[in-house]
Structure 1
Amino acid sequence: MGSTHSIATFDNEGSFSAYVAAPEGTPKAAIIVIQEIFGVNPGIRQKCDGWAAQGYLAVAPDLFWRIKPGIELDPDVEAELQEAFGYFGQYDPDDGVKDIEATIRAIRSGIGGLDGVAKVGAVGYCLGGRLAYMTAARTDVDASVGYYGVMIDQMLSEAHAIANPLMLHIPTADHLVGPEAQAAIHAGLDDHPKVTLHDYEGLDHGFAAEMGNRRDEAGAQLADSRTAAFFAEHLA
């Protein structure tokens, strides 16, 4: 079970909360878990707890805090799904990257009374998948993974700035990221020396959710095993 801590913004003009799950003993590295549009909900906290069980310090910042702190929504409830899309429409991902950079800084200097952790990775889902891509392009994060990231095809001009390893999981039947967008991502990133792409034939957006109707067990386990191996290699 994790706990909640406060992180100062990058400009030190405010603060936001983050769910922090710490392993037993010294963390082998840290992983920032980047939320979907549903906030730091039970599924995201479960992701953090899972990484902590594998020996990582896991931190999930509340990235919607400027809109409404503490949002927790269930994608299987239609009214909450629509509420989440409303927040997505209001959200500025540039602010998100700044908050993730502030989280990287907080982890390296020591968060919640813990010792600082030098190696920091990031893994995100949906909106968080896009932010994982942006984090790879705009910060010094050591490694990043994005699951079904939205709108990455519109940000390929930033790919030249990716200096550390990035992995993207792409379900081919993603109803939010269509075939043309997927083709553009492959065309823009297949030859990038720091980027690894994995396609998941016939799977849809949200297939690696921890709980709920969207999860595909076999696909989630395959993608998560690849993510675990990726972090084990690049955060060592």
Structure 2
Amino acid sequence: MQTRTDQVNAHDGSFDVHVWVPDSGRGPGILLLQEVWGVGPYIRKVAEDLAALGYVVAAPDLFWRVRRNWEGAHDMAGLQASIEVASQFDGAQGVADSGTTLAHLRALPEVTGGVGSLGICLGGSLNFALAADEPMDAVLSFYGSQVPDTLALMDRVDAPLLLAFGGKDPYIPRERVAEVERAAAGRPNVTVYVDERAGHAFHNHEAPDFYHEEAAADLWRVAVDFLGKHIPVRP
């Protein structure tokens, strides 16, 4: 696969968008939105996995106004440092930057077919909000902590939507996940996936305090199937 970093303009400056292109040189587009650790080794590995499936992936540096190209270490000290950076992050601007990146992704000559988004942790909250205003072919949100607080947005999401959570997540208590399940009930475009074995950030293989190997593998299979159904990669 090929990788590069594009510069994308916002109203108040420019920021990096990291791009992965599959070996085929083209494919559907996936907007990949970071966790608090930034566009670090875990997000890059997710991007590589998506590109290996045939997707063109774009991951913006969302913390550029606070700390450009922030990469927090995947230990408790790095988590605390990342939370401090994230505390200075403006979520509304992050949604706007995500929308700008989505437009950039759609315009890439390598992008053919559908376009969707995978948001993880912080990114899972941002792309849920983005989906309320931007049409996409599929939206996957992994343990977005703000999702239970913004359920009214679900009325405005028309895209196929996968909301994934861990049943033992200390940051998103199970009763809050149950609120999401109730809000999604009867909505044919919304799937809520809960792994009762797992906590927060359980797909992140770089974070040993959070990673759950079996749950991560199961979630990835669900995500790949979801993408294949709604944004298939054409030969």
Sort the TM-score into its range (normalised by shorter chain). over 0.9
1:100 match: 98
SS at match of 2:198: coil
CA shift, 1:61, in A, is 0.6
Superposition CA RMSD, Å: 1.5
Contact 1:109 1:117 in 2 (8 A): no
1:59 match: 58
SS at match of 2:27: coil
Contact 2:31 2:105 in 1 (8 A): no
**Cα distance in structure 2, aligned partners of 1:129 and 1:161:** 16
Contact 2:40 2:72 in 1 (8 A): yes
- What TM-score results when the alignment is normalised by the length of structure 2? 0.92
SS at match of 1:140: coil
Amino acid at match of 1:181: R
1:8 match: 9
2:205 match: 210
Amino acid at match of 1:21: W
2:192 match: 197
**Cα distance in structure 2, aligned partners of 1:27 and 1:227:** 21
CA shift, 1:36, in A, is 0.2
**Cα distance in structure 2, aligned partners of 1:146 and 1:85:** 19
CA shift, 1:32, in A, is 1.3
1:79 match: 77
Query: Following TM superposition, where does structure 1 have runs of at least 4 consecutive aligned residues deviating by more than 3 angstroms?
Result: 114-118
Q: Does 1:222 align with 2:194?
A: no
> Unaligned stretches of 5+ in structure 1?
none
CA shift, 1:116, in A, is 4.2
- What TM-score results when the alignment is normalised by the length of structure 1? 0.92
SS at match of 2:132: helix
**Cα distance in structure 2, aligned partners of 1:101 and 1:109:** 13
Structure with greater proportional strand content: 2
* Mapping 1:94-133, distance limit 5 Å: 94-110=92-108, 114-133=109-128
2:27 match: 28
**Cα distance in structure 2, aligned partners of 1:142 and 1:30:** 10
CA shift, 1:175, in A, is 0.8
**Cα distance in structure 1, aligned partners of 2:206 and 2:83:** 19
**Cα distance in structure 2, aligned partners of 1:164 and 1:7:** 25
Contact 2:21 2:110 in 1 (8 A): no
With over 3 angstroms needed to count, the CA separation of the structure-2 counterparts of 1:128 and 1:219, relative to structure 1, is same
